[in-house]
Amino acid sequence: MSIEEISRFFEPESVAVVGASRKPDKFGSVILQNLLTLGYPGRLYAVNRNAAEIQGVRSFPSVAAIKERVDAVIVSVPANQVPQVLKDCQQNGARNVTIISAGFSEAGEPGQKLLAEVLSIARSGHIRIVGPNTTGILNPSARFTTTFMPLVKDVRNGSVAFIAQTGMFAGVMVYHIITTQHFGISKVAGLGNKVDVDETDILEYLLQDKATRAVMVYMEGLRDPRRFLSAARTFVQDKPIVVLKGGRTPAGAKAALSHTGSLAVNSSLVTGLFKQAGVIVATELEEMIDCAKILNCESLPQGNRVGIASMSGGAMVMASDAVTEAGLVVGSLSQARLAALQKLVPEWAIASHPIDLEPLSEIVGRYESHRVGLEALLDEPGIDMGLVVTMLVGGQAEEEGLVNALAPALSTRRKPVVIVLLGPKAQCETLAARFEGMGVPTYAMVSNAARSLAALRQYATIRRI
């Protein structure tokens, strides 16, 4: 299997949409519309027996009728028509087929029979298949997608890739990520029932993909664990992988069986093997996203000692608990640094760590206290990572004040820093955009921040830092 073989799924120079339709609620119609919306720059063909042109795109009665060899074929027709489409692909010479249609592995004996037929044609035609039963591929930088979920023009281009053994969920995750997260997406691979192309194939492609810095994987079953683990072991020496394993419990495994036809694998065994291979294992969706965010933008910490600063004593307590419970250590400041801070607080206050910004603010002002606190954490050799918990009151002056106070130290930081934003929602969102624009991960809760720092530290140990 060559990487080039997989790359055509993501970077095709020509594309055929089989099942392209004029009816706006048909998947085939949305897929074609998405390619037009994104401005796909390659050669685009519709395939529909009953039209010469659809949405301005020239239409052919079959893939076989297209004159050039098509790089990528997207199939959205009823399952029982898919074998014929595969034969047409074989005739055309097309070798990369993403099957959107459902009704195979998950659809009882008739589905299994159809699938066997499809696979047999694929084998003889040297055709690789993504899917079936999936939204398939999204590659914002190539303006290419196979998804039937309506897309907007400006899918944020970024450096996190997402592989998911599922159909619709991969598409909805794209919506979720592009509307709630500031990191962008490099590639999405919805694998659906995963009858051919699997996580390992995609990993091998992503390893050499310059656009991708971190990978999230949602996985239900694993056909060839040994091959995946071996690929993962190599991969994580370059880029981090966060895996969320669905079907961890008997009930989840049962649901997975009817979802993608995946057989359950012993969950704690898999988790252990993943961790041994250097994969970060998330236990739920938000954790996977949280971890990908920090792994995508932060340098790796030299140790496990976290420094904490906040205006709120309660936040410092919660952060200390969260850091400890995440398996990290609340660091400490040297006597010299504490003495220096002591000079900046009122007489009644005792400088200590976590750094209470409130007394500092009474002398140096509120925004300046954040600068002083952050710089103390960054300069202190006893601290490996910084966690600043803001207490926001609201207003643009506060936004400017905090950004101006923190930006210089953040832009030259030599250790990872995360910022927790607590306060009025609108302001948390504005500041999240500003800090993440500087490559600083932000979180709404200290517990999310702490477990993300722990994942970062875990990845550092994998990389032997």
99-138 residues in contact with its own copies (CB under 8 A) are 102-103, 106-108, 110-111
Site string for its own copies, 75-94 (x = CB under 8 A): ----x---------------
Assess 338 for contact with its own copies (CB under 8 A): no
Distance in angstroms (rounded) separating the CA atoms of residues 362 and 341: 13
Taken in order 369, 372, 375, 381, is the CA torsion positive or negative? negative
Nearer CB in complex with its own copies: 394/437: 394
Single residue of 115, 189, 216, 422 touching its own copies by CB under 8 A: 422
Assess 150 for contact with its own copies (CB under 8 A): yes
Amino acid in position 251: A
Assess 425 for contact with its own copies (CB under 8 A): yes
Single residue of 348, 412, 414, 464 touching its own copies by CB under 8 A: 348
Query: Minimum distance from CB of 197 to its own copies (Å)?
Result: 17
Bridge-based pairing state of the strands 57-60 and 137-139: unpaired
Assess 343 for contact with its own copies (CB under 8 A): no
Q: Please, which residues have CB within 8 angstroms of residue 343's CB and are 6 or more apart in sequence?
A: none
Query: Minimum distance from CB of 345 to its own copies (Å)?
Result: 10
Nearer CB in complex with its own copies: 259/434: 259
Nearer CB in complex with its own copies: 94/160: 160
Of 294, 280, 277, residue with least CA distance to 234: 277
Beta bridge partner(s), residue 258:
none
Beta bridge partner(s), residue 355:
309
Assess 230 for contact with its own copies (CB under 8 A): no
Structure tokens at 310: 């906040």
Of 123, 199, 142, 204, residue with least CA distance to 166: 199
Single residue of 350, 411, 461, 463 touching its own copies by CB under 8 A: 350
Query: Minimum distance from CB of 391 to its own copies (Å)?
Result: 5
Q: Give the Cβ contact number of residue 149 at 10 Å.
A: 18
Query: Minimum distance from CB of 259 to its own copies (Å)?
Result: 3
Query: Minimum distance from CB of 177 to its own copies (Å)?
Result: 10
Distance in angstroms (rounded) separating the CA atoms of residues 391 and 408: 20
Range 161-190, binding its own copies (CB under 8 A): 164-170, 172-173, 175-176, 179-180
Residue entry with tokens 């992503």: 206
Beta-strand (E) ranges in 240-375? Answer: 241-245, 280-282, 305-310, 329-330, 355-356
Single residue of 16, 57, 311, 374 touching its own copies by CB under 8 A: 311
Range 267-286, binding its own copies (CB under 8 A): 283-286
Of 61, 190, 73, residue with least CA distance to 125: 73
Q: DSSP letter string over 43-57?
A: EEEEE-TT-SEETTE
Query: Minimum distance from CB of 274 to its own copies (Å)?
Result: 16
Query: Minimum distance from CB of 342 to its own copies (Å)?
Result: 12
Structure tokens at 241: 């992988």
Assess 65 for contact with its own copies (CB under 8 A): no
Single residue of 317, 338, 378, 438 touching its own copies by CB under 8 A: 317
Contact 319, 387 (CB under 8 A): yes
Distance in angstroms (rounded) separating the CA atoms of residues 465 and 448: 23
Amino acid in position 2: S
Query: Minimum distance from CB of 454 to its own copies (Å)?
Result: 14
Assess 250 for contact with its own copies (CB under 8 A): yes
Q: Each residue of 95-125: b (16+ CB within 10 Å) or e?
A: bbbbbbbbbbbbbeeebeebbebbbebbeeb
Query: Minimum distance from CB of 162 to its own copies (Å)?
Result: 12
Count interface residues toward its own copies (CB under 8 A).
Answer: 84
Range 354-383, binding its own copies (CB under 8 A): 354, 356, 358
Query: Minimum distance from CB of 163 to its own copies (Å)?
Result: 12
Range 3-62, binding its own copies (CB under 8 A): none
